[in-house]
Amino acid sequence: MSIVNFRRRHLSGRAGFTLVELLVVIAIIGVLIALLLPAVQQARESARRTQCVNNLKQIGLALHNYADTFKEFPPLAILGDGNGNPQATRCYTWISLILPQLEQGALHDQFNFAAPAWNQTLPGSLGNLQGAPVASVLLCPSDGTPMDTSQTNGVSITNYIGSEGYHWWTTAGISDATLTSQGLSGFSSSTSANDFSGAFTIGRKTRFASFVDGTSNTIVVSETNGSGYKNGGDRMKGGTGIPRLPTAEAVVRPAYVFTGFAGLSRRAPYADPTGTAATADGWFNKTGSNPYYFTPSYIAYRHINNDWQGPGSFHSGICNSLLGDASVRTITETMDYGTYLCLNAVADRHARGFDQ
């Protein structure tokens, strides 16, 4: 009898975990999760970054298909009413024009390019153009909190912006831009009269023959992360581009968005210092007493010629850029200003690689 009781006590003592053992198991699981979670997040971001690259490649192919059909790249914007009368509400971007090549022909067909983009009524559930849906190919998947449309006058936005190159205001026409050496390495002290205009420059038609530096050496589209408002407070830190002049607030326009100058478009409202618009630090930032930071690119209403919004992304340390040959390369936060400027110019005759 005593032997049986001993066996029963022995078996009953092994029937469950003690509190200490349970806590140890929970701690081990917690450690494993802590070790695996960063790897999972990194894998997800890698997938999002790959999708962003694919988006740019699709945009590149769309630009090539457009150029094959019309023998030139799309203009930076359609300005005016079709009768030679420029109007601030009639600004359709190059993105609007390549929608058929992006398999968004149904959306493109609903645009009346002879009518104002602003407040243009669209049939069905689309409402008006201000609320037009944005194709996923125009949004970076790493931008998990797209800008609140109430802060962009309700206009649809995109994370991919065309490069206007190094140029003056919209009234600059097609004259060659000049570049001084202040703040830029690799240039002489004298001005350079070479053409630093980008693939999308007002008053200029861009064809494949326009890429004197080669399509594989020229950025035509870059990412933007939506950061940037003038007077936006500390949270609104945005990229302002390569310095245009040797002053604290001087900027230039490689890869920009729209302008409020020359009556060509209307500006989005400023964000509050604690604004809710999605943002991240931009690159090539030049600070001053009143630095200028503005809004991201717009799909239809606004064009890409902006003096304030520079390249940027939600990818750590890099920004994806589309080249003229439809390939995608990355720029880094440490890239030289002068190198980046040359990469955005179609005919500056300073063909520089991404590693310079």
Q: What is the largest CA-CA distance in the chain?
A: 110
What are the angstrom distances between the C-alpha of 251 and each of 2, 67, 89, 273? 93, 30, 26, 22
Residue 5's pLDDT is 55
Residue 54's pLDDT is 95
Residue 343: Cβ within 10 Å count: 29
Tell me the residue range of the domain where 319 lies. Answer: 1-356
Name the DSSP class of 310: -
Name the DSSP class of 294: -
Instruction: Specify whether the CB–CB gap between 191 and 257 falls below 8 A.
Output: no
Mean pLDDT rounded to a whole number for the chain:
61
Identify the top-confidence range among 186-190, 241-245, 336-340.
336-340
The average pLDDT across 329-352 equals 75
pLDDT tens for each residue of 149-198: 444 444 456 778 788 776 544 334 333 444 443 333 343 333 344 566 77
- DSSP secondary structure string for all residues of 181-248: -TT-SS--SS-B-SB-B-SS-TT----GGG-TT-GGG-EEEEE--S---TT--TT------S-SSSST
What are the angstrom distances between the C-alpha of 59 and each of 14, 94, 96, 158? 65, 11, 12, 12
Instruction: Specify whether the CB–CB gap between 149 and 276 falls below 8 A.
Output: no
Q: How far apart are CA 272 and CA 214, in angstroms?
A: 43
Q: How far apart are the first and last CA of the chain?
A: 89
Q: How confident is the model at residue 65 (pLDDT cuts 50, 70, 90)?
A: very high
Alpha helix stretches (DSSP H) within 76-178: 94-97, 105-109
The average pLDDT across 19-31 equals 85
Residue 3 has pLDDT above 70, yes or no: no
The average pLDDT across 11-32 equals 76
Q: How far apart are CA 141 and CA 349, in angstroms?
A: 35
What is the number of alpha carbons within 13 Å of residue 223 lying toward its C-beta?
A: 34
With CA atoms as reference, report the closest residue to 105 among 60, 66, 144, 156: 66
Q: How far apart are CA 27 and CA 48, in angstroms?
A: 32
Residue 123 has pLDDT above 90, yes or no: no
Report the predicted TM-score, pTM, of the whole model to 2 decimal places: 0.65
SS3 160: strand
With CA atoms as reference, report the closest residue to 291 among 245, 240, 336, 340: 240
Residue 62's pLDDT is 96
Residue 8's pLDDT is 53
Give the number of domains in the chain: 1
Q: How confident is the model at residue 21 (pLDDT cuts 50, 70, 90)?
A: confident
Which residues have a Cβ under 8 Å from the Cβ of 85 and sit 6 or more positions away? none
Instruction: Specify whether the CB–CB gap between 220 and 324 falls below 8 A.
Output: yes
Q: How confident is the model at residue 56 (pLDDT cuts 50, 70, 90)?
A: very high
With CA atoms as reference, report the closest residue to 132 among 260, 152, 140: 152
Residue 66 has pLDDT above 90, yes or no: yes
